[in-house]
Structure 1
Amino acid sequence: MNAMSSVDTRNVARDSLFLFAQLTFEGQTQAYRVKVRNLSAGGMMAETGEITASPGDRLEIELRNVGIVKGSVAWAQDNRFGVAFATEIDPKVVRAPVASRADVPRYARPATTPPTFSDEERRIRKL
């Protein structure tokens, strides 16, 4: 048997990265900050010293630029654990810098309040 047999040979593209995310276990209200060590469309590896995760634990994780993603713990070892997402994500979106309001073109920004028109503007007939 060769040494390659112990190497993970799954054909899943993973992005190695280092960022933080907020994790909440199902049925709990407390959120925990975890380090995301690698990320793929279907899951991630997290690291934390705060909590102990067990295979099968259901959770929600808030990922930068994506929002809340549901998943479950696939494996756990020491202070690291794997999360299998319920739905796939685009890991490139998570890696992208967080856009500030100034970075978003004005035409793409959501309206915060409906526009108000003067009486004269309301009388103008559209052609």
Structure 2
Amino acid sequence: MNEEQDSADRGPARSAPRDSLFLLTSFSTPEGVPLGKARIRNLSATGLMADCERAVPAGTQVEFDLRGIGKVSATVAWARGDKVGLAFDEAIDPQLARKPVSNGVAQQLPDYLRPANMSQSRR
């Protein structure tokens, strides 16, 4: 594949640097109509590229939950088969999606799994 063809396959020019990653989510319309599952392949502050379980046409408004960020609204900027590029309605911090998921409660090891000195210091 030549460089010109490769850039044509990626869609419109990107305005922000993108990080490669792999996240799962489900797209829906703003009215809540499910549009199917999606695998997010790269993410920036202004958009993403994803593989979808079914085609979602360009111009479609979508909403989805993004780990570490919450609900995100976007417009499908381009679509090629099961691949889509989304432009977010509002910029996000893509680094938040990379942080480990936590319920906010510090997980504690049971006594039998703690090293001896750690067990004794907590009593």
Residue 79 of structure 2 aligns with which residue?
Answer: 76
Does the residue aligned with 1:102 lie in a helix, a strand or coil?
coil
Distance in 1 between residues matched to 2:35 and 2:4, nearest whole Å: 37
Does the residue aligned with 1:82 lie in a helix, a strand or coil?
strand
Are the structure 2 counterparts of residues 45 and 99 from structure 1 closer, same or farther at C-alpha, using a change threshold of 3 Å? same
Number of residues of Structure 1 aligned to a counterpart in Structure 2: 101
Between 36-45 and 6-15, the greater mean CA deviation after superposition: 6-15
Q: What TM-score comes out, normalization by structure 1 length? A: 0.69
Q: Percent identity?
A: 34
Distance in 2 between residues matched to 1:5 and 1:29, nearest whole Å: 37
Distance in 1 between residues matched to 2:105 and 2:32, nearest whole Å: 36
Q: Any stretches of 5+ residues in structure 2 without a counterpart?
A: 108-123
Superposition RMSD on alpha carbons, in Å?
2.2
Shift of 1:31: 5.9
- 8 Å CA contact 2:41–2:51 kept in 1: the answer is yes
Deviation string 1:40-98 (CA, Å, 9 cap, x unpaired) is 1000111122x221110001111001111111100000111011100000110011111
| Alignment counterpart, residue 42 of structure 2, candidates 32, 38, 51 | 38
Give, as a single letter, the amino acid of the residue that structure 1 aligns with 2:79: A
Q: What TM-score comes out, normalization by structure 2 length? A: 0.71
Between 10-19 and 58-67, the greater mean CA deviation after superposition: 10-19
- 8 Å CA contact 1:22–1:63 kept in 2: the answer is no
Distance in 1 between residues matched to 2:72 and 2:20, nearest whole Å: 19
